[in-house]
Structure 1
């Protein structure tokens, strides 16, 4: 697996979602089109795992979280930036999604969740904010951010 192959996997998804609003309907559609356990989900999850194992995804670490932006918002990814994080029973830094955020959750520990969501997709709308939290073990999370927009805040540790 190489970054350009990975970009091709991502582009197949982003091409289908680029013109859609980031909302509950998109989350339901992603979970129906690419459900956990499907061939497409498994192919993407395996590509994410391979990239992390090979060291070109989530290649930085801070505060017990491995993370990294593999692609800025590009025409090839239909205007989405692509980040991958690896988290284990931890809450990350609070941030705002000016244009929304789409997350693909790949548990590494059976039953691990991301913000309470199991394996699959989670969508946050424009202007939403959270403190990303993995519970019940370890998970990889792929973040798709329209225009790469994210704003880290200085919220208290209890913020959600």
Structure 2
């Protein structure tokens, strides 16, 4: 289901206000610390993004695809409106997703929905992966939404080896 244009426009504007402050900054531990200081869980930015993601999921235009118990989808492409970041949102509950690499890095906003959900060990808040990093994204301790900001939309999924 496609997003209602007003809801998608509002979401894009919300994301753009954030990505304007991220464009050109190194994706590293310093950025993670800054995001968790400037926009921590409970802050206006965090709560607005969380509410928009919950709304998008409830309306069926966010996390509209499902595979292996993970709901997911690219919400916004990497373009000028989002300062070169794409936006993906996933909903996961006590599951590990597919292994992938981040050629340009990845910025994650972790939004627990149930239990004490953690994404790769991070509770409510921000986690940043630098360029060239890789992981198998894992939510443990409950259910969470995770918003991914990918510079230039770059992500490379690892092909599984068949026995």
Q: Deviations over 1:58-109 (max 9, x none)?
A: 1100111000001110100000000000000000000000000000000001
Q: Which residue in the other structure is 1:37 paired with? A: 42
Unaligned runs of 5+ in 1: none
Q: Which of these residues, 114, 130, 135, is aligned with residue 135 of structure 2?
A: 130
- The SS at the match of 2:114 is coil
Report the CA distance between 1:155 and its aligned residue: 5.6
Match 2:155 to one of 122, 146, 150? 150
User: Are 1:9 and 2:31 an aligned pair?
Assistant: no
Aligned residues: 156
Aligned residue among 45, 64, 68 for 2:69: 64
CA distance in 1 between counterparts of 2:48 and 2:115 reads 18
- 3-state SS of the aligned residue for 1:57? coil
CA shift for structure 1 position 150? 0.3
1:85 corresponds to 2:90: yes
Q: CA deviation at 1:44?
A: 1.1
Q: What is residue 76 of structure 1 aligned with on the other side?
A: 81
Superposition TM-score, scaled by structure 2 size: 0.93
Task: Detail structure 1 runs of 4+ shifted over 6 Å in the superposition.
Answer: none
Give 1:113 shift. 0.2
The unaligned stretches of length 5 or more in structure 2 are: 1-5
